[in-house]
Amino acid sequence: MKDKESILIVDDEEEFRESLKVMLKDHYKIFTAEKNQTALNIIEGNKINVVLLSFDTSKAEGVNFVRRIKEVNEEIDVVLVSYLGILRSLPGYLRLGVTLCATRPTEESHFISFLQEVFIKQRFQKEIEHIHSEAKERHRFGQIISKDKKMREIFDIIKEVASTSTTILITGESGTGKELVARAIHYQGNRKDKPFVVVNCGAIPSELMESELFGYEKGAFTGAQARTLGKFEHSNGGTLFLDEVSALRLDLQSKLLRALQEKQIQRIGSNKTINLDVRVIAATNIDLEKEVKGNRFRSDLYFRLSVVPIHLPPLRKRKNDIPLLAQFFLETYNKHHNKKIEGFSPNALATLCTYSWPGNVRELQNLVERLVVLSRQDKLITLSNLPIELFMDGKQNAQEVEEIRDDELGLTKIKEGFEKRFILQTLEKTNWNQTEAAKILKIHRNTLVKKLTRLKIRDNVQSVNGEK
C-alpha cells in the first residue's frame, strides 16, 4: 500500500494543533510541533510533504522560519493558514513560495479539498522534475525520445537491424517520426559514415521521379544538358530513404523492385549497368496491404520492402511520452530562441496529455515552438497560453473553453470536464444504455450512475430498455 503523505502542523496553541490532527489523521500522516526548532528537527528526521503554519505573519521570525524550512528541504510545500497581519508581510512569504490559506480551517471538507489540490500540484511538480531527468540518454535513441513500451521494443529492433543491409518498411501516421527511425537505423549501423539520402516520393512530380531516382545521361531527353546522378548513386554505400513510397507510379514500382533485387540500376538514356551497395528504407502513412488489394501497389514490391516491418504508434497511444517530449522541445527551443521558460503548469501539462494529437509528435513539437516564440515572460506556460483547439477535442463549446483558459481552474475541475465529455460520448455510442456504456468504460454500472450524478448529467439519460 502506498505510504500516506505527511503533514507537519506548527502552532503554539495545543488546541489548534490537536483539532487539525483529528481532522486530518485519517487522510495523512500527521506530525505536530509547538516551537520552530522542534519543527525543524522533525523535518530533518522525517519525510515531510507539507508544513501547515499558523502564526502572526506580521512578525519577522515568520519569514525567517519559512526560509529555514526551505533550506532544510526545498521540496516541502509550506501552507500558511493564519490571517493575522497578512497584508503587511504577505509579499515576503510569497517570494518563498508559500501557499496561502487566508482563513483558519474551520470547515473540514473545504480544507481537505484545499489540501488535496496542494498535493496534486506537488505530485505534478515532482513529475515535471522527473521528466527533466528522464529526458536524457535513458529514454533516447538517436533523435528519438520515448519511454513507451512499444517504442522501446522498436529501439531493440533498430539495434538488431542497424548493421545489416536488410530493406525495412516503416509505417505510421504522419508526424510519428518515421524519418527519425530511418536515421537512427542508418547512424547506429556500419553505414553511418556513408550518405543518408532522403527522397520524398509524394513531393516530386511523377514524371520526374525516374530521373530523380536513377539519374540520366546527357541528351537522354529535352533539357538533359549533362550527365546527372540519381539518388541511388548518391547514396551508394549508405542508405536511401524513400518517404511516402506509396505515391510511386506502378511502372516506377517495377523499376524500383528490379533495382532492389539485382542491386543494379541504369541511368535514363544509357545501357550501362551500374552496381550499387545501397540499403533502402521505405516509409508510408498509407495501409499498403489495402493498396495491394486495390491493385495500386505491387505485391512483390511490398514484400520486398517489408522484410523487416516497423510500425510506429500514434502519440495518442503513448500518452506517457507527452510530458517527456514537451519538456524536451521546450528546452530545445529555449536555447534556439534565447528564452528561459521553466516548464508547464500542472493544468497545462494535464491538458496536453488529454489532447488526441492528430498531427502526432510533429504537431506537439510545432506547438511548443510556437508557445516559446510567443511567450512574453520567463516563467511557466499556463492554460491561458494554450491554443483553443487543444480544448475542443470533445464537444464542449467555445464559451466553456474560454472559462477554463481564463480562470486557470484547478486540476480536479479540468479532469471532471474531460471525464464528463468522455462519458457523454460513450453513452451516445451505446444509445444511452448505461450497462453497455459501463462495459466500454470498464467500470461497474453503479459506479457509472454515481458519476452521472456527480457530474450533473443524470437528467440527460434517456430511458433505454427499461434503464434510466
* For the ranges 96-105, 215-224, 450-459, the one whose mean pLDDT is highest: 215-224
Q: Which of 20-34, 253-267, 363-377, 378-392 has the lowest mean pLDDT?
A: 378-392
Residue with cell 548513386: 233
Q: Which residue has the higher pLDDT, 286 or 408?
A: 286
Dist CA 51 CA 78 (whole Å): 5
Q: Which of 73-82, 252-261, 281-290, 301-310 has the lowest mean pLDDT?
A: 73-82
Range 113-143+315-386 has CATH code 3.30.1490.20: no
* CA 386 to chain CA centroid, nearest Å: 14
Cell of 354: 488529454
Q: Which of 252-266, 304-318, 423-437 has the lowest mean pLDDT?
A: 423-437
pLDDT of residue 221: 85
Binning pLDDT at 50, 70 and 90, where does residue 365 land? very high
What's the pLDDT tens digit per position in 54-69?
Answer: 765 555 567 788 888 8
Answer yes or no: is pLDDT of 98 > 70: no
Answer yes or no: is pLDDT of 162 > 90: yes
pLDDT of residue 80: 78
Q: Which of 46-50, 160-164, 334-338, 392-396 has the lowest mean pLDDT?
A: 392-396
Average per-residue pLDDT for the chain: 81
pLDDT of residue 231: 95
pLDDT of residue 448: 85
Binning pLDDT at 50, 70 and 90, where does residue 111 land? confident
Answer yes or no: is pLDDT of 419 > 50: yes
pLDDT of residue 412: 54
pLDDT of residue 179: 94
* CA 392 to chain CA centroid, nearest Å: 18
Which amino acid, residue 322?
A: I
Contact 380, 408 (CB under 8 A): no
Answer yes or no: is pLDDT of 283 > 90: yes
Answer yes or no: is pLDDT of 232 > 60: yes
Answer yes or no: is pLDDT of 428 > 70: yes
CA dihedral 291, 297, 300, 301 (to 10 degrees): -110
Answer yes or no: is pLDDT of 150 > 80: yes
**CATH 1.10.8.60 segments of the chain:** 113-143+315-386
Answer yes or no: is pLDDT of 99 > 70: no
Which amino acid, residue 140?
A: R
What's the pLDDT tens digit per position in 11-57?
Answer: 888 887 888 888 888 888 999 998 889 999 999 888 898 888 876 55
Q: Which of 86-95, 205-214, 268-277 has the lowest mean pLDDT?
A: 86-95
What's the pLDDT tens digit per position in 434-459?
Answer: 888 888 887 888 888 888 887 777 54
Q: Which of 5-14, 60-69, 344-353 has the lowest mean pLDDT?
A: 60-69
Residue with cell 543491409: 165
Binning pLDDT at 50, 70 and 90, where does residue 210 land? very high
Question: What value does the mean pLDDT take over residues 174-196?
Answer: 93
Q: How many residues does the chain have?
A: 468
Binning pLDDT at 50, 70 and 90, where does residue 387 land? confident
DSSP for 350-398 reads HHHHHS--TTHHHHHHHHHHHHHHH--SSSEE-GGGS-GGGG-SSS--H
pLDDT of residue 382: 84
pLDDT of residue 222: 83
Q: If one looks up domain 149-312 in CATH, what number appears?
A: 3.40.50.300
**CATH 3.40.50.2300 segments of the chain:** 6-106
Distances (CA, A) of 87 to 21, 68, 78, 105, 162: 28, 22, 18, 19, 65
Binning pLDDT at 50, 70 and 90, where does residue 126 land? low
Q: Which residue has the higher pLDDT, 466 or 83?
A: 83
pLDDT of residue 102: 44
Answer yes or no: is pLDDT of 193 > 80: yes
Question: What value does the mean pLDDT take over residues 243-249?
Answer: 96
Tell me the whole-structure pTM to 2 decimals: 0.60
For domain 6-106, give the CATH superfamily: Response regulator (3.40.50.2300)
pLDDT of residue 140: 53
Q: Which residues contact 434 (CB under 8 A, 6 or more apart)?
A: 427, 445, 448, 449, 452, 461, 464, 467
Which of 216, 209, 159 has the alpha carbon at shortest distance from 184? 159
Dist CA 27 CA 11 (whole Å): 20
* β-pairing verdict for 264-265 and 274-275: antiparallel
